[in-house]
Copies of this chain bind each other. A is one copy, B any other.
Amino acid sequence: MEISFTDIKQKFQGCGLKTTPQRAAIYDALLRSTTHPTAEELYAEVAPQFPMMSLNTVYYTLGVLRTSGLIHEVNIDHTRARFDANLSPHHHLICLGCQSIVDVIDPRLNRLTSPAGIPNDFEITSYQVAFRGLCGSCRRHTGRSINHSSPGLHPTTVKGGLHGKSS
């Protein structure tokens, strides 16, 4: 995703945010990243350009961008927050071995029907599917054993292909 400084500035202005070099660099780093980095990782990414920059600034900036809706927080495990500047509807593929997160872009997943049995005064504004399993590399290294200490694993085996019969 290529984006110029001017583009970033316009986005920030559109949200009523001041444009500072640090802020632009953090946002740019997140836009270019595909790994859903943590605050610390973004800090490491941007720090070379701004040796005086504080990790605090990264946290503050991420908070501001999140509140403005320019980025999303992705919660894979409870230990640390990860961030995503990709606002288009997409889903995630999470490796339980190495905790990596890959974007899943499949339009079919954006057309789920409304779930049954939910309170009718609940207004759903979005939904997201998290696929979990083991990436090729982790399968080879761990002999396909699943790390049960990782979060959210369900016993449902999905295998190579999920079956798509309509109930």
Contacts and interface: CB of A to CB of B under 8 A. Distances in A.
A157 B125 CA distance: 5
Interface residues of A, number: 79
B127 A131 contact: yes
A57 to B, nearest CB: 18
A62 B125 CA distance: 32
A118 interface: yes
A126 B129 CA distance: 10
B121 A135 contact: yes
Given A95-B122, A111-B163, A125-B158, 17 more contacts: A66-B148, A67-B148, A87-B154, A93-B124, A104-B115, A104-B118, A109-B112, A111-B164, A120-B160, A123-B160, A124-B133, A125-B133, A125-B156, A126-B131, A127-B129, A128-B130, A129-B130
